[in-house]
A and B are shown apart, each in its own frame.
Chain A
Amino acid sequence: MNKLILCFALSLFFFNAGAQSRFFTKDAKINFNSSTSLEDIVAESNQATTFIDIDKNEVAFSVLTTSFKFRRALMEEHFNENYMESAKFPKAKFTGKIISPIDWKNEKLVVVDVKGQLTMHGVTKEVTLKALITPGKGKVVAAAELKVTPEDFAIAIPSAVRDKIAKDVTIKIDAVYAPYQQ
């Protein structure tokens, strides 16, 4: 009888584990680089929140713009006050869908295309980016990279400093997802 109960409990556990479709993390790393030969400009935030739904192949990503750390306090100030206008637009967001085939049961690294909407500085643009995804037991590891042009998001950079900031900013993302319990 006890064995039967144990079997039942175990099967329930595996059934639940199989039904897990949403993964998340609140500690995703996001950094960007807009360095030129005149100035090194890199910033990083360790607190992006991101979800991945392996049934629907959907991804969501959001970060608070004031959580980015720069080398200099002055850069942080310019970034938040002049460029991103963090007081008006405190978040940057991405929601998208994995458009290339992916087998979540195969624990191997795959390179996929992700297509979606990127919103920052109050402007939404459609972007397609490449992501590296490694499904694992009870976790998903992902990395992605994309290039954006500040002017596409209505970010005005004064001509006096335009040469110091790269034309295209490279954004890199690193995330280790864990199952999300509702």
Chain B
Amino acid sequence: MIKRKTLRILLWIILAGIVVATSAVYYVFNKPRRNISKESAVYTMEAKQLISEFKKDEDSATKKYLDKTITVKGEIKSIRTLDNQSKVFSLEDEMEGVSCTVDSADVVKNYSKLTQFTKGSNVTFKGRCSGMLMDIQIINCVPE
């Protein structure tokens, strides 16, 4: 009788273990993307200052800002729409400024705010810095 009871408890424990393990694997495998709009910025700065830091020493600026959530403020010099319907706002300089990319899903979410963002307006974006090519690229941006 006792033997049977312990066996039953043991079975329940094994079953619970399997459920926990599979859900853990499932969660890790389908891990949600970083939601920038819910993250607080590590750095908040003027786009001009970010540009001068990258121009002075690209390597150390890359180390400092890569993959960090940052908030940049600056004047819009150009707006482009990519093939995948993301929008790119270039701040301070069209060629060598800060390019803030808003993914299409975030364009939809922030539509009314973004229609007010025109050439010449001073705006703030929060996003993830992915480094510098000609311009400094901030991706997954949301307007502040």
Partner of A72, one of B30, B80, B82: B30
Taking a contact as CB atoms closer than 8 A, the residue among A27, A66, A73, A74 that contacts B130 in the complex is A66
Contact B86 A64 (CB under 8 A): no
Determine if B37 is an interface residue (Cβ-Cβ < 8 Å).
Answer: no
Q: Is A67 an interface residue (CB 8 A)?
A: yes
> Residue B31 at the A interface, CB < 8 A?
yes
Cβ of A91 within 8 Å of any chain B Cβ, yes or no, is: yes
A85 to chain B, nearest CB (A): 11
Please name all residues of chain A whose beta carbon is closer than 8 Å to the beta carbon of B66 when the two chains form the complex: 66, 86-87, 90
Total count of chain B residues near the partner, CB < 8 A: 27
Given the interface contacts A66-B130, A67-B130, does A26 sit within 8 Å of B31 by beta carbon?
no
A47:B28 contact, CB within 8 angstroms:
no
Contacts of B71 in A (CB 8 A): none
Q: Does A62 lie at the interface of the complex (its beta carbon under 8 Å from any beta carbon of B)? A: yes
Residue of B nearest to A74 (CB): B31
A134 at interface by CB-CB < 8 Å: no
A64 touches B135 (CB 8 A): no
Residue-wise interface mask of A (47-72) relative to B, using a CB-CB cutoff of 8 A (1 in contact, 0 not)? 10100000000000011101100001
Q: Does B5 contact A (CB under 8 A)?
A: no
On whether the beta carbons of A74 and B29 are closer than 8 Å, the reply is yes
- B101, CB-defined interface residue at 8 Å: yes
A29 at the interface (CB under 8 A from B): yes
A124: CB under 8 A from chain B?
Answer: no
Cβ contact of B84, chosen from A46, A73, A76, cutoff 8 A: A46
Query: Are A73 and B133 also in contact (CB < 8 A) when A46-B84, A46-B86, A87-B66 are?
Result: no
- Judge whether B31 and A29 touch: CB under 8 Å: no
User: Mask for B57-93, Cβ within 8 A of A = 1, else 0?
Assistant: 0000011001100000000000010111010100000
Complex Cα–Cα for A74 and B32 (A): 8
Q: Is the CB of B67 within 8 A of A66?
A: yes
With CB as the reference atom, state the residue of chain B lying closest to A47: B137
Q: Tell me how far the C-beta of A20 lies from the nearest C-beta in chain B, rounded to whole angstroms.
A: 16
Assess whether A73 is in contact with B82, with CB atoms less than 8 Å apart.
Answer: no
In the complex, B139 has a CB within 8 A of chain A: yes
B82 pairs with A27, CB closer than 8 A: yes
Chain A interfacial positions (CB closer than 8 Å to B): 26-27, 29, 46-47, 49, 62-64, 66-67, 72-74, 76-77, 80, 86-87, 90-91
